[in-house]
Structure formats: C-alpha cells, structure tokens
Chain A
Amino acid sequence: MDFELTEEQKIIRESAREFLLNECPKELVRELDESDEGYSPDLWKKMTELGWMGLVIPEEYGGSGASFIDLMVLLEEMGYNICPGPFFSTVILGSLPIVEAGSEQQKRAYLPRIAQGELKVTMALTEPSAIYEASAIRTSARPDGNDYVISGTKLFVPDAHIADYIICVARTDNGSAGQDRPSPEKDIALFLIERSAPGVKTTLLKTLSREKQCEVLFEDVRVSQDSLLEMRGWQVVQDILDRASLALGAEMLGGAKAVMDMALQYAHDRSQFNRPIGSFQAVQQHLANMWADIYGTQYLIYKSAWNIAAGKPVPREVAMAKARIGQAYRRVTILGHQIFGGIGFTMEHDMHLYHRRSLTGDLLYGDSDFQHERIARELGL
C-alpha cells in the first residue's frame, strides 16, 4: 500500500495551483459566475496550451495518455482555486464517452479537436424526474429510414448553451413513456448531436452555485446514423457517472481543502477577547473536525479512482466515495462559515463561493441518499 503521489503528479499539483492562482483569480471567478457564458476563452486557450483538455485522451488521438489519477490531481486543484468553465463537461462528460464507445472514425474526428481546445462537449442525461437511473430516461430516438428523430426534455445539462456537441442519452425502443419495463437498461443509446442542429433548444438555468446548467429541449431533432455513438449505451453512461462522481469528488476535495486553509489562517489572524480565535477550544474542535472529514474522505476518493484507473469496476467504492464527499464538503463549508463569522456571510468574501459549490457537488451525479441505496444493494441487503 502506498499513499504517495508520483513525481509527475506532484508537478501537476504544484504547477496547476500556481497557474490557477495567477490566471484565474477570484475576480475572474466572480466575473464568470455572473456572466451567461461562464468561461473565459483566454483562460481556455492557456489551459489548452498546458495540455489539460487532452490529459487523459490517448496519445494516438492527440492527448497525453495520462492516468485517471493524474486527472484527479488536476481536478483537485481546479476545485481548490475554483475554475469556472466547460472543462469538466468537455473532458469527463464529452471526451470520455467518445474514448470508450466511439468508433475509430468518431475518435479521429472529435478527440484531437477536443485535445486542442477546439470543441466543447457535454452530456444530456438527466430528465425532469431528476433520477440517475435508466428507467428515468424518456427521451426517445425514433428510427426513421437511415436517421433517428430525437425528442425529449433534458435538465441540468452542464454548459449545453456553449457546447459545440451534446451527447444525448435516449431510448430507442418505441419510447412509450417507459412504465415498468422489465429491463430499463436495454435500448438506451448515445447520440453525438450538434447544438446547432435544428430542434435543439438550450435555456440557461439559474443555479445557486452559478455553475452553468441548462434545460435542453430536443424537438424532433433529426440525426444521421453517423451521430450514433453507442447503441447499447447504459453501461457507458454508468461508467461515465462513476468517473464523473469521482472527478467531481476530486474537485470537492480541493474545495474543502481551500476552505480549511482559509479558515485556519483566519483562526490565527483574527483576535477577539485579546487572543486569536484559534486559541478557543470550540474553534479548534471545528478545525479538527474539518481536517478529519477531509482526509477521511480523501482515502475513499483516491482508492476508488485508483481502482478505476486500473480497470477494476468498483461500484460500491465509488458510491461510498460519492456519498461521503458531498456531505463532508457541505459540513466543511458550514464550519468554515462558522469560523469566519459575520464577514463570511458577505458576497465580497470568498467563503460563499465554496459553500454554494458544496451543495451542487453533493446533489450532482447521485446524491448521498441515492448512493447509500446503491451501497445497500452492493452489500446484499
């Protein structure tokens, strides 16, 4: 057993932290949060130059072929600093499905362009029922000659409004509002659809964290066979959900560490009753709890990611990691707020930037209740 990062991973961590500190200061974060687009083309270009988009894309398709753990280390730094933009959607929700399920032709067509920062991609999965299960997919893909016609409503689609392509998860059976199918995971397909295709309508939702999520309407969107990414798609979706859970977990871990660092510094700097507030037991107990919460969860996150990187399916471990990180991050931001007192309750202070993200992080890709039920099944209950 070994808990050490590789030298390369240490370099990724240090260089990413410094890069983001300089190139994505909180002023920019706030600006992007308040904008509709939510990303900076200039920053995007710089990230591309660093090879970030193609980090885990295989070398033969223009990427670096690095491991999932390397990506996790990078994502942790992005969560630490906060880095608004379609990186997560493009890399995790966009490039990973293409790598896993795309044809050779599709991989050559899209992956190099993603690695070069030319394309933004996302995945439209969740529907108004807001459940991460195959049975919840009602969006239909009706075969029509050599084409498919796609109809349905997707919600909470990250960055759809600026994406070039949207991977739509749809049902290819005759989509009769899916009551009680015996095997809902069958007949789920993935389609790679241009956002500019006729019938695709995106509306930006207003989220508490200001992360850009959209409603996407597919109104009789006609797509050719070429856009079919995977016919038997639910397993791909499940794999992506696992990776997205851990990837988001890494971001949340980074965010929690940032809150810890800020609160710890404040506990040293802020004085009341003629002494630093960090000398009071109650404040000390909070910080100790934050520390334990963060480093306790880190083990679950990296252990799962390591197994995934080694090609081992670990649904129970992933569910455990996801169940805990959201709750831990939320506990940490609440304690962080408590330590900062009044000043932390202002928009001007950075604390709320993390607090908001702790909530969305917990809710996305299956919240703790969902994950606990998944764990219960895996335990044989």
Chain B
Amino acid sequence: MLRRRPIRIASSRGKEDSVAMNFEFSKEEIAFKKEVEAFIKEELPPDWEERSLYWPAAYGALPIFEEEFREISDELCHKLGQKGWLTIGWPREYGGMGSMMKQAIFEDVVSYYRAPLGDVSTSISGPTIIALGNEEMKKEWLPRIASGEVRFWLGYSEPNAGSDLASINTRAVEDGDEYVINGQKIWSSGAHIADYAWLLVRTDPEARRHQGATLLIVDNRSPGVTIRPIENICGIHSFNEVFYDDVRVPRKNVVGEVNKGFYCVMLALLYERLIIGIGAFRRVLDDLIQYTKETVHNGKSLSENPLIRSKIAKMAVEIEVLYGFYWRSVWMMDKGQIPELEASVLKLFGSELSRTLANVAVEILGLYGQLERGSKWAPLRGWISLGYLDSISGPIGAGTSEVQRGIIATRGLGLPRK
C-alpha cells in the first residue's frame, strides 16, 4: 500500500465567495436523511423485503395498487402525515418545511426501501393548489391533503386525448351552483383506490384548444361515476376507465380559474415529472451487484464476467447522471425558479433509464430473467421480470419521451414548431 500524501495542488475552494459550487448536503440534510431511514426501516413490516415490489420510474407495479399493501400504505401515510413528512416541500406558511431538497432526500430514501406511498395528492395536487388555488380552496383541501387523509387520481387522458391533451371531450356544463359532467377518462391510475379525481374538463367548446378547459376536483363517490378496471401487462390492476354520466360538482371545486385549466395542468405535470422513485434505481443496482457476487455458474461468479461488470458499471454511471438532474431540479425550485427543462429531462432520462436497467437486469439473470413472482427458482422474488414488463410504461406515461424531447426542443431550446 503506497503512502498517500495529502494533495496540495489546487486544493483550495477558491476565494471566499457567498456563492460557490457545492456537491455535498448540509449537516442538517444529512441528519434528516438518517432520521428518515431509521423511521422507514422501523415502520415497514419485517418481511417487506420478501413482499415488496416496485420498478423505478414506472407506473404499473406500484405497491399501493396491491390489495395486500393497502392497509400498510394507509397506516404509513397517516404516520407520515402526523410527522409533517407528507408535505416537506410545501411552503412553511402552509405547514410544510419549505424545502424541496429535503423532500427529494425523503423520496430518495423511501423509494430505496420501496415504501408503499402515493404521491399524487401531496406532491402534485397540494402544491398546485398552493400555487394557483384561491383561499377558499386552500382552506378546504390543504389540511386534509397534508394529513394523508385524501387520495387524488389524475384525470387527464381520454381515449381520443393522450399526448394531445387539448383534444379532451369530457364536458362540464354550468347549471346553477354546479357543473354537470359527461364524458370518459382512461389510463386513470389509482382511480379505484382514490377519493377524488383531479379532473380536466372542457368548459368552453368554442374556445381554441388550450383555452376553454377547467380543472375540477370531483368526488369519486358522486352519483354517475363508474370506474372500470383495466389490467396492465404486468397483470396488475393499476389503471381504469372512468365514466361520468351527469355527474354534479360544486363550482367551488374549480382549481384556479375557469377556462384556465391548462395552466394548472402544466404546473401539475411539472410536479409529476419530479416523481421518479429515484432510490429504487440504486436499490436495483445494489441487488444486482449482490446477486452477481453470490451467483456462481460453472465455478465462476457472475461478477467475474467482464460483460456483466461493464453493464453494471454503465448503469452506475447513468444513475449518477439521473441524480444530477434530480438535485438540480429541486435546487432550482428552492431558489424560486421553475425547472421546466430540468423536470422534463429528469422524467425523460429516468424513464428511459428504467427501461435500460430492466434490459440489463434480465440479461444478467439470463434464463432466470423470465421467471415470475411465485415461481420456483425465480431470483430476486421475480422482481426483475416484473420490472421488465413495467418498464414499458415509464417512457409512455406522464408525457411520452417523444413529447418530453419536443418540450426540451421547443420550450427549452426555442426551436420552432413549424
């Protein structure tokens, strides 16, 4: 072992400046991370390792969709609500900790342990209401969201309106104090386990496409709401079709302004793009590293195979890149900036990495990569084959990769649309 001498070259951080690059967390943030880790390990059931599932940055195999995890999830949500940990990124005046960075740290930890948490209400609806809702709406909804009492589902897509969200047809017509809604949503993830729809509806059919739509909060239990399950390719009931037949909604449930629904949705989409379950990427990598070291075929451990070493190393690099986009996005938000480009690239990169990672994982597993949960001989509880299927969803949901690249190119880089 060679004697290591201290490196004196260029080793100052430059002159004392109030602003300087820093790639470390503060002591407070580090302590917070430890606290979250201790809490989550304590709260998750002892056999969680064997039971849990989740593929990073994918939408189909979330633990909250499993019936057996529902109770654990509700209980966890309730406890987190009490600690104020469901709203870490909210401004202090609304009961949050005012730190998106800490919220990001929290999510990094809990997603590593595949904790069964849903984010829509606390990380999307809440912040959107804070930014664009009126005072009455804030008073009525924020406390309930913060305590983890209410779950929302996102009602955007329709059979004829996926990437082209402006083509929505679900109609809301004014009738006295209420709106009457008729139409249909699809790909309604979690609608069957949520309380309220976060619903984008057409309120002025004469208006130009992105004008004339309104965002409404609609109670799932309203008469006229029919939820029909759709089974995804993972064999999991994650999303639904939801039908609205003369469903009545009070006018006060408008989020933001009437006919300005798209502005709310654009902000909500930005928040949605920050939710990628980043810790689960590290978790997959750690599990794969462990697996390759332990698995011996024909007298050699998989970790000795140069191709496997190279693939795992590449994945480690890409995961690090993802963290770069992640921290930068939340850093910008804490500075009061809107990370429009950064959130798009985070979602784009994360979802595509999710797919690449799944491909690498099944290749490392070889023939075993095809074995499903419950099968004898299935390695890693069949999690990899499930992830391989679920990884199809990442680059499609919440704005396809093609759309994200389009956003980066047009809104970010200023390229013309025609």
Contact = CB atoms under 8 A, between A and B. Distances in A.
Interface of A: 1-9, 56, 58, 65-71, 96, 99-100, 185-186, 232, 234-235, 239, 243, 264, 267-268, 275-276, 278-279, 281, 283-285, 287-289, 291-292, 295-300, 302-303, 306-311, 313, 317, 320, 323-324, 369, 371-373, 375-376, 379-381
Given A1-B25, A6-B15, A288-B405, A376 B312 contact: yes
A321 B327 CA distance: 17
A71 B21 CA distance: 14
Nearest to B16: A6
Contacts of A306: 13, 21-23
Nearest to A328: B321
Given A291-B412, A300-B320, A309-B10, A6 B310 contact: no
A5 B314 contact: no
B316 A1 contact: no
A65 B324 contact: no
B13 A376 contact: no
B229 to A, nearest CB: 35
5 contacts: A100-B9, A298-B324, A302-B21, A303-B324, A373-B310
A311 B4 CA distance: 12
A372 B313 contact: yes
Given A296-B349, A313-B7, 16 more contacts: A4-B19, A6-B15, A6-B20, A68-B9, A186-B2, A232-B2, A268-B414, A284-B405, A285-B405, A285-B409, A291-B412, A291-B413, A292-B349, A295-B325, A309-B10, A380-B293
Contacts of B5: 100, 235
B405 A232 contact: no
B297 to A, nearest CB: 15
Nearest to A299: B324
A1 B413 contact: no
A69 B13 CA distance: 8
B292 A381 contact: yes
B320 to A, nearest CB: 6
A381 B312 CA distance: 9
B416 interface: yes
A302 B20 CA distance: 12
B409 A288 contact: yes
A267 B415 contact: yes
B276 interface: no
B376 interface: no
B316 A292 contact: no
Given A281-B406, A381-B303, A309 B12 contact: yes
A66 B13 CA distance: 8
A30 B321 CA distance: 35
B28 to A, nearest CB: 12
A320 B316 contact: yes
B21 A4 contact: yes
Given A311-B6, A372-B313, A1 B14 contact: no
For the complex of A and B, the 4 pairs showing the least CB-CB separation, nearest first, are A299-B324, A284-B409, A288-B405, A376-B309
Specify which of B7, B8, B349 lies most central, judged by the most chain A CB atoms within 10 Å of its CB.
B7
B17 interface: yes
Specify which of B327, B341, B413 lies most central, judged by the most chain A CB atoms within 10 Å of its CB.
B413
B11 interface: yes
Contact of B321 (A66, A267, A297): A297
B321 A268 contact: no
B418 interface: yes
Contact of A292 (B9, B306, B408): B408
B1 to A, nearest CB: 9
A110 B6 CA distance: 21
Interface in B292-309: 292-293, 303, 306, 308-309
Contact of A380 (B101, B289, B306): B289
Contacts of B416: 268, 275-276, 278-279
B303 to A, nearest CB: 4
Interface string B258-292: 00000000000000000000000000000001001
A308 B7 CA distance: 9
A5 B21 CA distance: 6
Contact of B2 (A70, A234, A298, A313): A234
Contacts of A298: 324
A296 B13 contact: no
A8 B408 CA distance: 30
B417 interface: yes
Contact of A69 (B14, B328, B402, B413): B14
A279 B345 CA distance: 20
B410 interface: yes
Nearest to A278: B415
Contacts of A234: 2
A307 B23 contact: yes
B409 A320 contact: no
